[in-house]
C-alpha cells in the first residue's frame, strides 16, 4: 500500500473545496496524516474509544425545584449537590428551555455550519461577532491524537445580544442564551448554598459577566479515519459550570472510576457539568471531570453549550479552610492553560494550582 492511499479524504469529496462546509483538516495537517502509513492501521488499537459502557447520567427534574413543596425543593437541591460531588455531571429536564427553542437553535445552527468554509472564516463582521469567534481543529497539534475534528462558533454573551445580519439566528441565540444563563446562575447559587455559603448567593451574578460568559456552537463533521481522531480531546472545562444541549447522535464520554463511559443522549435533557473553577472554589467538594468527544465515520454531530465564566480579574479562593488550592485569578488560570497547551499539547489545569505543589 502506498503512502498516498493511506491519506484520508474529506467525506464530501464530490463537493468543490470552494463550496465545502468542512474545514480543510487533511490539507492543513497533511504532514501528520502522512505519518499514518507508519502506524498499524488496525483500528482495534482504538477500540477503547467505543467499547465503553453506556450510562445514564443522574437525571434531575427541575419542576420539583421550582414548583415543588419545601420537602421536594430540598430533596432536589441535595440530589444536584450529590451529583456534582460524585459525578461532576448530571442532566436536567423541565429546565425552562422550551422544546421549540431547542429545535430552532439546532436548525439555525445547522444552517450556519452548512455555509462554505471560506464564508465561515469571514463571518464575524457580518454577524457583529468578536474577531476569531469561528474556530476549528487544533492549531497547536503536533500529532494526530491532538487534532480535534470539529469546528465551533465561540460567542461571548455580550455579542449574542448585539449580533446582527442573520435575524432568525440572532433572536434564537438570544432566547437560548438568556434562559441558559438564568439556569446557570440558579444552579451555581444553589451549589454555593449547599456548601453553607448563603452569603455568597450574589457572587456568581457579580463576577460572571456577559463579556466573559459565552455560548459555543459545535459541529463534529464525519471523520473518514474515525476512531483514530477525537472530535474533542480529553479535557476539563475552565469555568464554574457548563450547560450543554446535544443531539441524538452521541459521542460524549466522561472519565469515571478509572474508565471512560459513554453518555447516552437524551434530547429532552440539558447536561450540566462542573468546571475547574467550581472545583477550586468548593475546595474539591464538587468535581470537574475529564471528558471527550469521539468521532463518527458517517454522521455529523451538533451541540451547543453555555459556559459560566467570571471576569478575568476575579480571584478564585477556596471557600473552605485549609485550602487545597492557592488563590489565583481567572486570567492567571487561562494563561497557564494556554502555556501548557502550547508546550505539552494538552491542558494540565488545576494540579498547577495545588498548595502542595509550591
Tell me the catalytic residues: 301
- Residue 128, SS3 per DSSP: coil
Closest CA to 233 of 142, 354, 126: 142
C-beta neighbour count of 63 within 10 angstroms: 15
User: How many Cα neighbours within 13 Å face the side chain of 122?
Assistant: 3
279, 288 contact by CB (below 8 A) = yes
Beta bridge partners of 272: 90, 243
Backbone phi, then psi, for 36, in 5-degree steps? -60, -35
Element (H, E) at 109: helix 99-113
Cell of 243: 450547560
Q: Measure CA 59 to chain center.
A: 19
- How far is it, in rounded angstroms, from Cα 240 to Cα 225? 34
Q: What is the CA radius of gyration of the chain?
A: 21
CA angle at 342 for the pair 337 and 343, rounded to the nearest 5°: 100
Helix (H) or strand (E) holding 73: helix 70-86
Amino acid at each position: 500500500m502506498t503512502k498516498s492511499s493511506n491519506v484520508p479524504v474529506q467525506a464530501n469529496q464530490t463537493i468543490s473545496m470552494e463550496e465545502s462546509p468542512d474545514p480543510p483538516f487533511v490539507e492543513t495537517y497533511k504532514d501528520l496524516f502522512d505519518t499514518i502509513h507508519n502506524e498499524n492501521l488496525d483500528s482495534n488499537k482504538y477500540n477503547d474509544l467505543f467499547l465503553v459502557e453506556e450510562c445514564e447520567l443522574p437525571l434531575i427534574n427541575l419542576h420539583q425545584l421550582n414548583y415543588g413543596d419545601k420537602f421536594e425543593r430540598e430533596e432536589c437541591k441535595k440530589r444536584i449537590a450529590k451529583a456534582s460531588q460524585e459525578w461532576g455531571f448530571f442532566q436536567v429536564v423541565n429546565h425552562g428551555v422550551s422544546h421549540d427553542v431547542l429545535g430552532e437553535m439546532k436548525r439555525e445552527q445547522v444552517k450556519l455550519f452548512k455555509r462554505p468554509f471560506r464564508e465561515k472564516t469571514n463571518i464575524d463582521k457580518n454577524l457583529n461577532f468578536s474577531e476569531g469567534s469561528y474556530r476549528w481543529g487544533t492549531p497547536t497539534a503536533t500529532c494526530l491524537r491532538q487534532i480535534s475534528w470539529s469546528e465551533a462558533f465561540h460567542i461571548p454573551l455580550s455579542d449574542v445580544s448585539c449580533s446582527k445580519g442573520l435575524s432568525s439566528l440572532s433572536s434564537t441565540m438570544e432566547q437560548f442564551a438568556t434562559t441558559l444563563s438564568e439556569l446557570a446562575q440558579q444552579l451555581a447559587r444553589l451549589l454555593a448554598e449547599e456548601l453553607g455559603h448563603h452569603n455568597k448567593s450574589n457572587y456568581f451574578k457579580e463576577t460572571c459577566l456577559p463579556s466573559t460568559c459565552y455560548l459555543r456552537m459545535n459541529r463534529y463533521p464525519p471523520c473518514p479515519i474515525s476512531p483514530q481522531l477525537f472530535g474533542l480531546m480529553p479535557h476539563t472545562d475552565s469555568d464554574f459550570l457548563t450547560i450543554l444541549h446535544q443531539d441524538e447522535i452521541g459521542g460524549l464520554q466522561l472519565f469515571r472510576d478509572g474508565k471512560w463511559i459513554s453518555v447516552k443522549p437524551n434530547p429532552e435533557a440539558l447536561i450540566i457539568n462542573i468546571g475547574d473553577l467550581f472545583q477550586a472554589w468548593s475546595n474539591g467538594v464538587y468535581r470537574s471531570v475529564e471528558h471527550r468527544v469521539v468521532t463518527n465515520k458517517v454522521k455529523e454531530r451538533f451541540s451547543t453549550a453555555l459556559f459560566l465564566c467570571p471576569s478575568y480579574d476575579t480571584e478564585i479562593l477556596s471557600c473552605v479552610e485549609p485550602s487545597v488550592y492557592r488563590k489565583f485569578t481567572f486570567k492567571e488560570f487561562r494563561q497557564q492553560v494556554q502555556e501548557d497547551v502550547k508546550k505539552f499539547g494538552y491542558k494540565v489545569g488545576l494540579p498547577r494550582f495545588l498548595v502542595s505543589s509550591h
